Copies of this chain bind each other. A is one copy, B any other.
Amino acid sequence: MAEVSADLYVEVLRYYAQQMSLLDAQDIEAYVETFTEQGVTHHVHRGQKLEGRAAMLAHARQALPRYRGVVVRHWNDNYLMNEADDGSITVAYGSLVTLTEAEGIVRFESTYAVTDVLVRVDGRLRARSRTIVRDQPAAG
């Protein structure tokens, strides 16, 4: 594993700016396009694995009503990036999710540790996998 170049670091920041904007706009068709066709999302804390864009899309459509009445935003920070010999990039970061209600009232939906593997398809970065772990204090 090697550190990515400054140019690639910025390209990855832009990938997330784009992807998170689509997610927060609930443009789920465009959002799943930021994954590879066979891309996988794994919500570890609820033991849920979605394999392929079609499965992600079906799940997202089912989840949308949960977010009626709020505007969702993802705030990510501290992106760690490493490039493997095959060119794939592992990106680990923290994510804070806000839910803004009418009148500007802000609620918070946990913080998360996310680890993605990005690959280049036809010149553009896409996520091959995403692993999401809700922050959970150690027992004791």
Contacts and interface: CB of A to CB of B under 8 A. Distances in A.
Given A9-B10, A106-B111, A137 B94 contact: no
A78 B17 contact: yes
Overall SS of chain A's interface: mixed
A118 to B, nearest CB: 16
Contact of A106 (B10, B104, B110): B110
- Bin the interface of chain A by size: 35 or more
A71 B135 contact: yes
Interface string A5-49: 011011101101110110010000000000000000000000000
Interface string A88-114: 000011101010111011101111000
A76 interface: yes
Contact of A104 (B10, B81, B110): B110
Nearest to A68: B140
Contacts of A102: 136-137
B100 A98 contact: no
A69 interface: yes
A73 B9 contact: no
Contact of A21 (B24, B73, B76, B92): B92
